[in-house]
Amino acid sequence: AQKITQTQPGMFVQEKEAVTLDCTYDTSDPSYGLFWYKQPSSGEMIFLIYQGSYDQQNATEGRYSLNFQKARKSANLVISASQLGDSAMYFCAMRGSNTGNQFYFGTGTSLTVIP
Amino acid sequence: KAGVTQTPRYLIKTRGQQVTLSCSPISGHRSVSWYQQTPGQGLQFLFEYFSETQRNKGNFPGRFSGRQFSNSRSEMNVSTLELGDSALYLCASRYELDTGELFFGEGSRLTVL
């Protein structure tokens, strides 16, 4: 079975500082994908970044990077130079081929950026 | 390109009633999935449809059902509403089942009184 764990229910970060949001996963799939989504208070889930299990390089998208450690089964999201607009819920998710490519989500981390 | 559209955005029902929520995916996307989001339970997977066929199903009672039409639009129905069904229902679409990310709508917020 697939499982995603986010152990930080809430995080605070000073504006312009970097922050790391933790995500660990459990899967027996040889091939899988890892995703991060942002959910502002409006409710819509916004895709941020993707990492494939066979990708050698860590994924980066602007101020977002994914610290992928396959042996540790972790996929932490790093947000550099935090902005007030980064305040939101952040969800880690996984998709695996052995489970019909269904997405599994973690419970989320609430990030608050302090001016 | 228009995003995923969900209607209605907000609705209030009473216990015992039934509700139908609608989702129009991004043009060209053939997969639509539904999630229930509550503060205590996070995102819970309901079901996924691809080319009008249910491909995956979560662990929800039979009161929760869905369907997908030939134009990929999807509806989900909840019958005999309970207080615990109050939640944000999110719809997501993707082009294929084995690649790419999910694109989400803004959700339908259901309150059951």
The tally of CA atoms less than 13 A away on the side-chain side of residue A46 is 13
Q: Please work out, in degrees rounded to the nearest 5, the angle formed at the alpha carbon of residue B59 by the alpha carbons of B54 and B62.
A: 70
Contact call for residues B110 and B15 (beta carbons, < 8 A): no
Distance in Å, alpha carbon of B43 to nearest chain A alpha carbon:
6
Q: Cα A97 vs. chain centroid, distance in angstroms? A: 19
Is the pLDDT at B110 greater than 80? The verdict is yes
What H or E segment, with its residue span, contains residue B90? Answer: strand B87-94
Mean pLDDT, residues B75-90 taken together? 97
Cα–Cα dist B35/B48, whole Å: 9
At residue B1, does pLDDT exceed 70?
Answer: no
For residue A99, the chain B residues in CB contact (below 8 A) are 56
DSSP reduced 3-state for A85: helix
pLDDT digits (tens, 9 = 90+) for B2-58: 799 999 999 999 999 999 999 999 999 999 999 999 987 789 999 999 999 999 899
| pLDDT-flagged residues of chain A (< 50) | none
For residue B19, what pLDDT is reported?
98
What does the pLDDT look like over B88-102, one tens digit per residue?
999 999 988 777 899
pLDDT at B98: 76
The upper half-sphere exposure of residue B57, i.e. CA atoms within 13 Å in the direction of its Cβ, equals 11
Q: Which amino acid is at B44?
A: Q
For chain A, the residues whose C-beta falls within 8 A of a C-beta of chain B are 35, 37, 42-47, 50, 91, 93, 97, 99-108
Please give the DSSP secondary-structure letter assigned to residue A40.
-
- Decide if A91 and B43 are in contact by the 8 Å CB cutoff: yes
pLDDT the model gives residue A105? 94
- Asked if A105 and A25 touch (Cβ cutoff 8 Å), the reply is no
Q: Residue B84 has what pLDDT?
A: 95
Contacts of A35 in chain B (CB under 8 A): 101-102
- pLDDT, mean of residues B100-109: 94
